[in-house]
Structure 1
């Protein structure tokens, strides 16, 4: 990898305005086109935690402003929409208030009014808008819309775990059900600080403890979404457990033993990709999520969304191969929607070749064979040709 360049370097540890970290991450990707980055690599460049960088990268991908090139370990690169985000003028940050002397080890649980308890079910019958503006199409679960089921679980304080292959819509469902969520993007590098916060240096040289998403969710009565929870080291993930049980409080040892107590509305939901290398659902983790939902691709929805029928047929055939253990990967809804976009932009042949190239190398021969049987053409992964003169 060549030495990265970026014009987004901030004052070390400075508090950022709304959307500023996302803009800075996009700037790194734009300044180094064609280079794949992990959250940790960008964190070293910008001086922020890898968890915060991971959240920003996930938001860019969700909004179509970056491309995830690898799931484990997570790596990202710029796409055609990244430059627009990088160029957006940042929202000025709120001034940092002077740190008050700590007189007690226990803090008030919140400084703002808690969010009202969510309704037990909204009776959703149509698409639901996600924070990105994209629409989520609810699916049936327990005799009602899945978003209504998740709302009821929150009202009854029953933590939810969604599991299934990457790209099946777990994050989309969670965002649609809980518009007030805060996210921790899990990976092997996630630390306790990514949950509870850490000390940062302010522009005037002081150090101030800035609370993380777990603390904010507890104080504000919001939902904490732990994505890829089973990739996080168990010793790190254990910081969330006291907030989920009857205590509903945590102790931040790094901040002089500060005690945070959850207010009404606080809730924890997690995502798990069983097929990803290193993802282990421990008994300790599983036991804390009493409501567990398997999420698979909805091929009927893919049809309704305009995905070509032959692409859906390929996905169904490969899903059967996956079920029989003949293959370790099969295209999910995410890949099918990408197929549709590429086909509309560059044609079916290019979309089919890209689908073959998307498959892991170990499964590519079987994927290529199924694509050939459906399309009648032997497609090879996309590759650059000779120079255009």
Structure 2
């Protein structure tokens, strides 16, 4: 474990220096969990100051709190970027920072990946995400680098391939807007709600919250949202980095450092349209497909994986409009474990769109050696 040189206690540090020092301690030993007192002993700083730095890093998504009693922290996918940066690791006090300084921060070289290949990352729901290779590095590390460089990311691919899982694994300070045709501007910026006493108060939505707190906003199924609604996000993504909430007396919200927007797109879903305005604002676009080898490693029946591969090949040739993705395969295994493989295979047929079921049933019969039909209720149990 590499221990940073302890500074002279009492020496005044520059803006963000203590946070970067703490981040280096965490990043140097990513498997270790530290208390504020542990890091205070290593750096010669007060445990109170270290505790505040750890809280700031965690709030910004640049570290992870692992327990409350005792209080412990450890590095996450974004910690190394903060440790290697020369810019403040968290929002400084509000000042009129000139744009040239911001451009200089964008030019900071990307740090080396801190996530070891093959090391699972814990998502907020406690489930593990298994990083995949992207541009020669772990995907979670690449996304963390894109955030540090303020390059918006768009993930696209069929439902169930793991786009949301990747975003949740990469960013621990995530706020999400689930898009659909009924999404409104209020779902992004907020709206007035009635209090118990009959009065009304404006409740800010996830967009201004993410901007003020320097957090990540994930717009899932962004291409299902009407373009006129989605345009409310654009001022926060360009050089202005601010929005005006017309419904709240023209309130102006400015983005703090760390604020970042990413989105998901399902090209095959009816009504999903990737407009030029949307595509141009997401400079880094990544196709996400199912990792069938991962499905095998996670214990999915190899016959089910063979069915998925066959159907994926047919889908690529335009012979069928659907193929099982990782989500369906994991569900298959859960059902097979709870019942039996034949029941899970029959359910897989029923999961397919009605027009595609004959081909799916044919492939299932070839692989499993049994003709199966979608699950249906039978006569009353006697």
The TM-score, its normalising length taken from structure 1, stands at 0.70
- Provide Cα deviations, 1:105-136, integer angstroms capped at 9, x if missing partner: xxxxx9999xxx9x945521200000000000
The within-5 A match list for 1:1-389 is 120=111, 122-125=113-116, 126-389=119-382
> 2:113 touches 2:138 (CA, 8 Å); kept in 1?
no
Q: Counterparts of 2:262 and 2:182 in 1: how far apart (Å)?
A: 20
* CA spacing shift, 1:183–1:205, aligned 2, 3 Å: same
Which structure has the greater CA radius of gyration? Answer: 2
Following superposition, which runs of at least 4 residues in structure 1 exceed 2 angstroms of deviation?
110-113, 119-122
Q: CA RMSD in A?
A: 1.9
Partner deviation per Cα, 1:216-265 (whole Å, 9 max, x = no partner):
00000000000000000000000000000000000000001000000000
What is the rounded CA distance, in whole Å, between the counterparts of 1:162 and 1:129 in structure 2? 20
Asked if the contact 2:113/2:137 (under 8 Å) is kept, the reply is: no
Unaligned runs of 5+ in 1: 1-109
Contact 1:339 1:352 in 2 (8 A): yes
Instruction: State the distance in 2 between where 1:135 and 1:122 align.
Output: 19
2:253 partner SS: strand
- 1:147-178 residue CA offsets vs partner (Å, 9 max, x unmatched): 00000000000000000000000000000000
**SS of alignment partner, residue 151 of structure 1:** helix
Quote the Cα distance in structure 2 between the aligned partners of 1:334 and 1:312.
12
Distance, in Å, in 1 between the alignment partners of 2:166 and 2:363 is: 30
Counting matched residue pairs gives 278
Matched residue SS, 1:251: strand
In structure 1, what is the Cα distance between the partners aligned to 2:202 and 2:111?
36
- Check whether the contact 1:127–1:135 (CA below 8 A) recurs between aligned residues: yes
- Cα deviation digits, residues 357-383 of structure 1 (max 9, x gap): 000001011100011110111110001
Instruction: Specify every segment of 5 or more residues in structure 2 that has no aligned partner in the other structure, as ranges.
Output: 1-90, 95-105
Partner of 1:13: none
In the alignment, the residues of structure 1 paired with residue 111 and residue 198 of structure 2 have an alpha-carbon distance, to the nearest angstrom, of 48
- Counterpart of 1:78? none
Q: Secondary structure of the residue that 1:161 maps to in structure 2?
A: strand
**CA offset digits 1:292-332 (Å, max 9, x no partner):** 00000001100100000000000000000000000000000
Counterpart of 1:29 in structure 2 is: none
